[in-house]
Chain A
Amino acid sequence: MNLWELLASLVNDHTVRTVALGTAGLGAVSGVLGAFAVLRRQSLLGDALSHAALPGVALAYMLTASKTPLVLMLGAGFTGFLAIGLFFIITRHTRIKEDASLGIVLSTFFGVGLLLLTYLQRNPDARQAGLNSFLFGQAAALLTRDLVTIAIFGGLALLVVFILWKEFKLLSFDRDFGSSLGFPMPGLDLLLTSLLVVVIVLGLQAVGVVLMSAMIVAPGAAARQWTDDLARMALLAAFFGALAGVSGALISSLGSGLSTGPVIVLCASAIVLVSLLLAPNRGLAWNAWRNWRSRSRLRGEAVLLDLYRMGAQHEDALQPHPVSALEAVSGARATQRSLQNLLARGLVQPGKNNWWALTEQGLAEAQRMEAALAADRDEQ
């Protein structure tokens, strides 16, 4: 199957279309909520909440003997909220720090969840096979009614974020200031965290509890690389999430029993990797180039100043000096390259035998730099 046929299956193949739409919607919603989670340093909270959903799924099944996703999701949501409550209680009433209490909540709930799952597995009732897919996700099992669930709850979550945009921004940037204005920050915090739980629960079926946190963190972290504006970051995170969802669903639809969850998460990771490397301003490649630029500029300025200070000892400031004198100060290779750069900017001119002199322009530039340095010293 070539790429074109794969994309065509998005339109023609009902199953592929359903799965891709579901994971795209999921990715978009988790991207937006994840953008806030990343900015509020709550990535680990997302992880804890998704793991905490597992016992809820198992319990819901044990109590109702129903495999209906909505019922299982309600169970997942219930233990998710229970986990938030426990987390708040632990951090408020003990001396345990946030990261440690998240670790406690995560491992306790996940442990209970695994225990219940293995217990159910001994049960001859074969339906538990459906439950196991909550561990790593099974997007291929998404049905039209699941799309409706994702659309309704995901849409509601996005609507709340849109309506309370200003309040959530205040919460994320300057909570104390927000409180001083009279906004109930603990309530807003709980609301935003609850929306996160909703998104996580929506995603469990497709991505699974183990990797759902990646769907929260990855799009937001990638989006942060490309923009310095919160609204753009949220939109971009939604786009990245959707992109990861669709491409993951398509790749895993190629067959050979690949779980969709891991494939989607790998796609999201690829987006993060590209963003970390290549994004302008914040990307590693950009940083390396900028460092190199500023280093060579500084070296150039140093050589210019050296030349100026040598000249200052003579009556003619524009008098040429042997390159060896400059090299003694700055090193040979750096000096040659810097002189070529300065020459290109018209600040120095070569004489015979590799002697170099300031131009009028170079003299003015050096004097300006010297004055700026003196001003800096005064400021300190």
Chain B
Amino acid sequence: MEQSLAIQISDLTVAYQEKAVLWDIDLDVPQGILMAIVGPNGAGKTTLLKAALGLLPIAAGQVAIFGKPYKEQRGLVSYVPQRGSVDWDFPTSVLDVVMMGNYGKLGWVRRPGAAERRAAEAALDKVGMSEYAQRQISQLSGGQQQRTFLARALVQDAQIYFMDEPFQGVDATTERAIVELLKELRASGKTVLAVHHDLQTVPEYFDWVTLLNIRRIASGPVDEVFTEDNLRATYGGRVSLLSSAPRKEAA
């Protein structure tokens, strides 16, 4: 059962002006799994991703990607920010956004060329967006925006994917397409960490789950830790949420 650890987070604490938003998080993520990060609003899900990626100053703790600090492993990691975090009225095309996935490998000053363009087109094809390549990004639906972001991540050809709410505001077709994509990634040995909101679909879409509410409540395979007790500990007394969470029927 010994698997290599894709991500190892230990004692991670993040604070905004004295207030801890993440407290003493330990998290071991084995390679080749799809892990959902769930928890109520303000639980620190996005903060966890950003802190692991070094986008936020951390008060204490360490993050290791395949045993080394993130700074040395950037090429292995891809980040898919929340769809709403960018201005979709920015004057650029779908293809151009996807090409940004190449920027890390290109490094300073070098511009993307024909090879990068082909990689971007292939990624767009993979998410079913080929015909939208030249489309201005403001004309995209929510699902198409999300597919564009995923295509950009695919271009990075990473080992680990950090995704912030990849299913937020997408239509049913896109949701199915994204799930397929995630499973393909897992099949090729990639690791995916995704902030997720819909408790109902956790067992169906993911095989591992982390329950988070400032502290790590539980983390592990879905059929072990996605229990009513853990959910209650994570979400407090909000029973309406809990009663809809499936757990009784073992798959």
Contact = CB atoms under 8 A, between A and B. Distances in A.
A224 B55 CA distance: 30
A98 to B, nearest CB: 16
Interface string A147-182: 000000000000000011111011011101111111
Given A228-B91, A228-B93, A181 B109 contact: no
A316 interface: no
B138 to A, nearest CB: 8
A39 to B, nearest CB: 6
A379 B91 contact: no
B130 interface: no
Contacts of B79: 176-177, 180
A230 interface: yes
Given A176-B50, A180-B77, A379-B171, A163 B90 contact: no
B140 to A, nearest CB: 12
Interface string A339-380: 000000000000000000000000000000000000000010
A176 B46 CA distance: 12
A181 B106 CA distance: 10
B103 A181 contact: yes
Contacts of A224: 91
B248 interface: no
Contacts of A379: 171-173
B74 A227 contact: no
A7 to B, nearest CB: 33
- Interface of A, secondary structure class, is helix
Contacts of A315: none
B147 to A, nearest CB: 16
B55 A179 contact: yes
B55 A180 contact: yes
A47 to B, nearest CB: 20
A233 interface: yes
A227 B90 CA distance: 11
B111 A166 contact: yes
A167 B108 contact: yes
Contacts of B162: 180
Given A172-B90, A176-B85, A182-B74, 13 more contacts: A39-B87, A166-B110, A170-B103, A177-B79, A177-B152, A178-B103, A180-B54, A180-B77, A182-B104, A224-B91, A228-B91, A228-B92, A228-B93
Interface of A: 39, 163-167, 169-170, 172-174, 176-183, 224, 227-230, 232-233, 379
